[in-house]
Amino acid sequence: MIVFSNAKINLGLFVTDKRPDGFHNLATCFYPVDWSDVLEINESKELTFESFGIPIPGDPSDNLCLKAYHLLKKDFDIPPVSIHLIKNIPIGAGLGGGSSNSSFTLKALNDLFQLNIADDELAKYAAKLGSDCPFFIYNKAKLAFGTGNQFKDIDLSLTGKKILLVYPNIHISTAQAFSNIRVMQPKMPIADILQEPLKKWKENLNNDFELSVFNVNEDIKKLKDKMYQSGAEFSLMSGSGSTVYGIFDQDFDFEELESYCSEKKYAYINIKISR
């Protein structure tokens, strides 16, 4: 079985307060985008995992795909599988690639072995793997609160727009992103901001991580500025960085921006949004 494990972007990301446990509460909107890894999962004589493409740091035996398998194995009598992952989504880029891989592994195993686990139940398994993992079970626009683990539906579609996602080959650590973060409530609830016309999002839809990240990585700020200079209706850094995206009109020509990214040796993809 082959599945395409897609990325997400954050439409806004507000750090609203610090929790007693040391973590922070957030308010954001996750939106799926078609920058995808490829997962092939088949029944096998023994459990194996191999990855190709972008190198994944760490011990392969700790990969989230294997953790997802073991999670279901505890409750269901499923046989061993071979898992092959082609990694295209940049790692540590604010796109949720690893979380997506784990959730799509859960979904693939559910389908492959006809476990008949409903999405809401599958999301509970995904939550054990990471705060944002349940989003990829539903894989549609969701407001997220808490540590990114509490979800609400939102009627939001960017269908027909084009989006350019650019990873400037800069890894941002979580600790670095949270340094100098200023905790505050947004001027408007994020759900209300997202109901405004796209071109007005720039006025109130922020990513609170940008301030600390831009202070030490001027190239990321320049990339966002370049998006607006080129005609983006809205641009923002995704997650804790460093990927920057721009949302454009459906007739936009990316040739100049793609040349800029190629000269800088940035990884990028342009997508026509179809959902």
Q: Which residue has the tokens 């269901």?
A: 76
Beta carbons within 10 angstroms of residue 86's beta carbon: 17
- As a whole number of angstroms, the distance between CA 89 and CA 269 comes to 10
Q: Which two tokens stand for residue 119?
A: 């999405």
Q: What is the gyration radius of the CA atoms in the chain, in angstroms?
A: 19
Q: Which two tokens stand for residue 141?
A: 């626009």
N residues, the chain: 275
185 class by beta-carbon count within 10 Å (0-12 exposed, 13-18 middle, 19+ buried):
exposed
| Beta-ladder partners of 32 | 8
- For the annotated catalytic residues, the residue numbers are 8, 132
- As a whole number of angstroms, the distance between CA 99 and CA 117 comes to 19
